[in-house]
Structure 1
Amino acid sequence: MPRSRSAFSLILTFAVLLGAKTSAFTEDALRTAASRPVDILHIRLDLDVQLKAKTVAGSATIDFVAIQPTRTLSLNAVGHEVSLVKVVGKKTGKVSFENSGETIDIDLGRTLSRGEKGRVQIDYRVRDPKAGLYFFQPSKAEPDVPLTVWSQGEPTANRHWFPCLDNPNERQTTELLATVDDGFEVLSNGSLESKKKLENGRVKFHWKQAKPHVAYLVTLVVGEFEIGRTEWRGRPVTYYVHKNRAADIERTFRNTSKMLDFFSERFGIEYPWEKYAQVVVEQFMWGGMENTSATTLYPATMHDERALIDGNPDWLIAHELGHQWWGDLVTCKDWSHLWLNEGFATYCETLWAEHYKGKDERDYLLYNESKQARSGSALTRPVVDRRYPDPSTMFDSRAYPKGGWILHMLRSQLGDDDFFRGIQRYGTVYAYQTVETNDLRQVFEKLYGVSLERFFYDWTQRPGHPTLLVKSSYSAKEKQMKLEVKQTQKADPFHIPLRIELTMPGDEKPVVLERLMTDREFTSYLPVQKRPTLVRVDPEI
Structure 2
Amino acid sequence: MTAFSIIFFSFTFVLPVSAQTGKPNFNRAQTFDVQHYILRINFDRPNKKIYGDTTVRLKPLSNNFKLIELDAAGLDFETVALVPENKILQFRTSGEKVYVELDKIYSPEDTISIRFVYTAMPKKGIYFVDAEVENGKIIRDSQIWTQGEAEEAHHWFPSFDFPSDKATTEQYITAEKGETVVGNGELIGQTENSDGKVTFHYKMPVPHSTYLVSFIVGKFVKVSEIYKTIPLGFYVYPGKESIVPKAYGRAKNMFRTFEELTKIDYPYNKYDQTMVANFNFGGMENITATTMADTEIFAADFNFAQGGVEDLVSHELAHSWFGNLVTCKNWAELWLNEGFATFMEAAYREKMYGRQDYLRKIRSDAKQFIVDDAVNKNRHGLFNQLARPDDSIFDTTTYQKGGAVIHTLRETVGDEVFWRALNVYLNRHKFGNVETSDLQTALEETSGKNLEWFFRQWVYGAGSPKLDVIQLYNPKSKTLRLTVSQVQKVDGITPESFILPLEIEIKTTNGTKTEKLEIKNRMENFSFKLNGKPTEIKLDKNEKIPLKTVRIQPLVIQSK
Q: Same fold (TM over 0.5)?
A: yes
Please state whether the residue corresponding to 2:190 is helix, strand or coil: strand
In structure 2, how many angstroms separate the alpha carbons of the residues matched to 1:498 and 1:205?
A: 57
| 1:500 aligned partner | 504
| 1:204 aligned partner | 199
1:330/1:139 Cα in 2 relative to 1: closer, same or farther (>3 Å)?
Answer: closer
| 1:5 aligned partner | none
1:235 aligns with 2:234: no
1:66-465 matches, cutoff 5 A: 66-69=60-63, 70-89=65-84, 91-100=85-94, 102-127=96-121, 129-138=122-131, 144-303=139-298, 306-312=301-307, 313-374=309-370, 375-376=372-373, 380-388=379-387, 390-465=389-464
1:258/1:74 Cα in 2 relative to 1: closer, same or farther (>3 Å)?
Answer: same
Deviates further, 267-276 or 391-400 = 391-400
1:38 aligns with 2:4: no
In structure 2, how many angstroms separate the alpha carbons of the residues matched to 1:386 and 1:427?
A: 24
AA in 1 matched with 2:393: M
| 2:539 aligned partner | 537
In structure 2, how many angstroms separate the alpha carbons of the residues matched to 1:388 and 1:427?
A: 24
In structure 2, how many angstroms separate the alpha carbons of the residues matched to 1:117 and 1:378?
A: 49
Q: CA deviation at 1:310?
A: 4.7
Q: CA deviation at 1:525?
A: 1.9
Q: CA deviation at 1:99?
A: 2.7
AA in 2 matched with 1:524: F
1:523/1:330 Cα in 2 relative to 1: closer, same or farther (>3 Å)?
Answer: same
In structure 1, how many angstroms separate the alpha carbons of the residues matched to 2:389 and 2:227?
A: 39
In structure 2, how many angstroms separate the alpha carbons of the residues matched to 1:498 and 1:373?
A: 21
Q: CA deviation at 1:125?
A: 1.6
The Cα offsets for residues 360-407 of structure 1, whole Å up to 9 and x where unpaired, read as 222222222112222335973222122245543222121111111110
Any stretches of 5+ residues in structure 2 without a counterpart? 1-14, 491-495, 544-560
Q: CA deviation at 1:528?
A: 1.4
AA in 1 matched with 2:368: Q
In structure 1, how many angstroms separate the alpha carbons of the residues matched to 2:404 and 2:228?
A: 32
The Cα offsets for residues 243-284 of structure 1, whole Å up to 9 and x where unpaired, read as 131121122110111101111111111111110000000111
AA in 2 matched with 1:245: K
| 1:57 aligned partner | 51
In structure 2, how many angstroms separate the alpha carbons of the residues matched to 1:537 and 1:309?
A: 32
In structure 1, how many angstroms separate the alpha carbons of the residues matched to 2:265 and 2:148?
A: 26
AA in 2 matched with 1:165: F
1:206/1:231 Cα in 2 relative to 1: closer, same or farther (>3 Å)?
Answer: same
In structure 1, how many angstroms separate the alpha carbons of the residues matched to 2:438 and 2:244?
A: 39
1:99/1:447 Cα in 2 relative to 1: closer, same or farther (>3 Å)?
Answer: same
Please state whether the residue corresponding to 2:27 is helix, strand or coil: coil
- Report the identity percentage: 29
1:26/1:502 Cα in 2 relative to 1: closer, same or farther (>3 Å)?
Answer: closer
In structure 2, how many angstroms separate the alpha carbons of the residues matched to 1:170 and 1:243?
A: 38
RMSD of the TM alignment (CA)? 2.3
AA in 2 matched with 1:110: K
1:305/1:106 Cα in 2 relative to 1: closer, same or farther (>3 Å)?
Answer: closer
- The structure, 1 or 2, with the larger RCO (C-alpha pairs under 8 Å, 6+ apart) is 1
Q: TM-score w.r.t. structure 2 length?
A: 0.87
Please state whether the residue corresponding to 2:400 is helix, strand or coil: helix
In structure 1, how many angstroms separate the alpha carbons of the residues matched to 2:389 and 2:218?
A: 32
In structure 1, how many angstroms separate the alpha carbons of the residues matched to 2:393 and 2:278?
A: 23
In structure 2, how many angstroms separate the alpha carbons of the residues matched to 1:335 and 1:192?
A: 31
AA in 1 matched with 2:225: T
| 1:512 aligned partner | 514
AA in 2 matched with 1:64: L
In structure 2, how many angstroms separate the alpha carbons of the residues matched to 1:444 and 1:26?
A: 25
In structure 1, how many angstroms separate the alpha carbons of the residues matched to 2:451 and 2:300?
A: 47
Query: Do the aligned partners of 1:43 and 1:174 also contact (CA within 8 Å) in 2?
Result: yes
